[in-house]
Structure 1
Amino acid sequence: MLLDNLALFLRIVERGGLAAAGRDVGLSPATVSERLQALEAHYGAALMTRTTRAISLTDEGRLLVAGARRLLAEAEELEAGIRHGTEMISGPIRLTATQDLGRRCVVPIIDAFLAEHPAVTIDLHLADGYVDLVGQGFDIAIRHGVLADSSLRARSLGPNRRVVCAAPAYLKAHGTPRHPQDLATHDCILMRFGQNLDAEWRFRIDGRMERVMVRGRRVANDGGLVRHWCLAGHGIAFKSIRDVDADLASGALVELLKDYSAGETGLQIVYPASAVQPRRVRLLIERIAAAFAAAG
């Protein structure tokens, strides 16, 4: 019963409320509340602060989130080994990735992995904004940039430079920028990450990294849509090379301002720093890392 209550506790954290967690598992809010109270009584500490609008974890609750994940992973690994044998891989994996990279690079890896392991299920969340890896219960995240959360672990997937690019049709109609400052006269397609608008693009000019302000009539929080608009000739985009490498190779897009390197942002697999990961998660991490290494 303790493991069941721990699993329910994690569901409450991931779903952000008792009622939503109850709907997922077919329990009434009253029953969920009773089981949460039983868990708090077992540990002798309040695990959550509840209001009519939201819940927040206490210090003890945050400690239990990490511990509960480890305990449940160990229990699940043990059961799978006994029921199916050590060679059988089964169970759910939750992962998140950016929209464009997820669709183009991660989904094919997942498809091959599922074909190889029919008892595994995948819950894929594609989002370009910030995702709370631990709070939302993800096993893996694929992220750009530097790891800011020290409670997570990361494995590099290699360098990932950003490129300025546009469709030949746009360049024919509006001309080709020769210097980063020329972007001020062009229609740029901008990304929004949560509340932050990516309207300052970085370039190396005369040996120094400088920020260039850009503007445009199209803004989106979906990297796939930014790429689609760029391919359609609606403006100039600032994209990860892994998102547009095939488009550049085919000539559908043209790389601009090559002499003003925009620098690189790391690409990495990020995961909670728990002591135990289910074997299925470890295998998928290895598969993703190998696929990205092979792609260069």
Structure 2
Amino acid sequence: MDKSDVTLERLRTFVRVAERGSLSAVAREQTIGQSSVTRHLRELEQALGVVLLARTTRRVTLTEEGSRYYAHAIQILRLVEQANDEARSTSETAAGTIRISCTAALGVRHLSRLIFAFQDQHPAISVDLGLTDERIDLVRDGVDVAIRLGPLSDSSMKLRSLGHSQRILVASPDYVSRHGRPASPEALANLEGIRMSNIAGSDMLSLTGPDGAVQMVPIGGRLRVDHGLAAREAYLASRGIGPAHLWLVDDLLSEGHLERVLPDYALSPIPLSMLIAPERASIARVRLLVEFLAEAVLDIPGVERSGREV
């Protein structure tokens, strides 16, 4: 076996195993048998004459030689994809697959329909949309673009601010009629609250009053959930009062199933951002999606433009 056996297929398999740390995960991702993944790696190492990966029963890690080779391999694969992309662009048709990750509730309620509209404009582009509230590793999980709510600190990714998501306090008319409408933030302490177990500090609300003064108000309650759609159902079922992104409950508000509580007091808006894997940012189909979403998200209720691209 010689260097001509260093094929793109084997390079791609090596890169994904290096990023995932698991042969079985890559096999599932590429819909091939694990034996094929093992064979690609063995043949690549034989062609190079070096050991690239150290294998244990629990994990696969890069050797020193493997780390150096990985850095060059991802550059090679990026150049190949860019060349393919530029060749396709001569036909004025963007094609290929984009992998997107999005906060789950936002994805279900709004982003999915934006993706549908994007694909209507670009019928040759396939989309793999994953919905999760977990902070994923874009490189490890092979994701091109991630839409996230809240502050982000991953400096290794290309970050684009999409704006801020407005939040309001809501409850059902039935809950308000049975328990009374709070006239001040302090009254919330005596009412049942819906809290998010996966958000730090959800037992305290920061409310800005009409005079600009900020009040920190504790909120209790017997129900804590870790998903926005579960909170939506809890409000609808008259389980209590709590904060909600406007996009999460806009339809329920317009239909009268929910109503605003303490409308003169504002909750802090939450940053909405797009993370882009740096090595994918220059690919035409990814650029098209990024620019499309940067404008389309402004049609989501409660999302307002702010910030700038970093």
| Worse-superposed segment, 61-70 or 123-132 | 61-70
C-alpha spacing 1:24/1:253, structure 2 compared with 1 (3 Å): same
Q: Which amino acid aligns with 1:137?
A: G
C-alpha spacing 1:21/1:179, structure 2 compared with 1 (3 Å): same
Once the 2 structures are TM-superposed, how far is the Cα of residue 179 of structure 1 from its aligned partner?
3.1
The answer to whether the 8 Å contact 1:164/1:236 transfers is yes
Once the 2 structures are TM-superposed, how far is the Cα of residue 169 of structure 1 from its aligned partner?
1.3
User: 2:115 matched to which residue of 1?
Assistant: 110
User: 1:269 matched to which residue of 2?
Assistant: 274
C-alpha spacing 1:69/1:255, structure 2 compared with 1 (3 Å): farther
What per-residue deviation string (whole Å, max 9, x for no partner) do you get for residues 167-195 of structure 1? 1111112222333333332222222328x
C-alpha spacing 1:276/1:158, structure 2 compared with 1 (3 Å): closer
User: 1:214 matched to which residue of 2?
Assistant: 219
User: 1:281 matched to which residue of 2?
Assistant: 286
Number of residue equivalences: 295
| Structure 1: runs of 5+ lacking an equivalent | none
Give identity over the alignment, percent.
35
| Worse-superposed segment, 85-94 or 57-66 | 57-66
The answer to whether the 8 Å contact 1:144/1:267 transfers is yes
Q: 1:175 aligns with which of 180, 196, 203?
A: 180
Q: 1:203 aligns with which of 207, 214, 228?
A: 207
| Structure 2: runs of 5+ lacking an equivalent | 1-5, 305-310
What per-residue deviation string (whole Å, max 9, x for no partner) do you get for residues 75-96 of structure 1? 2342244357341111111111
Give the alignment's Cα RMSD to 1 decimal.
3.3
Larger Rg: 2
In the superposition, the TM-score normalised over structure 2's length comes to: 0.79
Once the 2 structures are TM-superposed, how far is the Cα of residue 10 of structure 1 from its aligned partner?
4.0
The answer to whether the 8 Å contact 1:18/1:33 transfers is yes
| Worse-superposed segment, 242-251 or 206-215 | 206-215
Q: Which amino acid aligns with 1:154?
A: L
**What are the equivalent positions in structure 2 for 1:1-296 lying under 5 Å apart?**
1-12=6-17, 16-25=21-30, 27-36=32-41, 50-55=55-60, 68=73, 71-82=76-87, 85-193=90-198, 198-204=202-208, 209=214, 211-274=216-279, 276-295=281-300, 296=304
Structure 2: how far apart are the matches of 1:108 and 1:24? 25
What per-residue deviation string (whole Å, max 9, x for no partner) do you get for residues 53-111 of structure 1? 34456788778777655543442342244357341111111111112211222111111
Structure 2: how far apart are the matches of 1:270 and 1:64? 26
C-alpha spacing 1:188/1:77, structure 2 compared with 1 (3 Å): same
In the superposition, the TM-score normalised over structure 1's length comes to: 0.82
Structure 2: how far apart are the matches of 1:242 and 1:59? 48
The answer to whether the 8 Å contact 1:143/1:269 transfers is yes
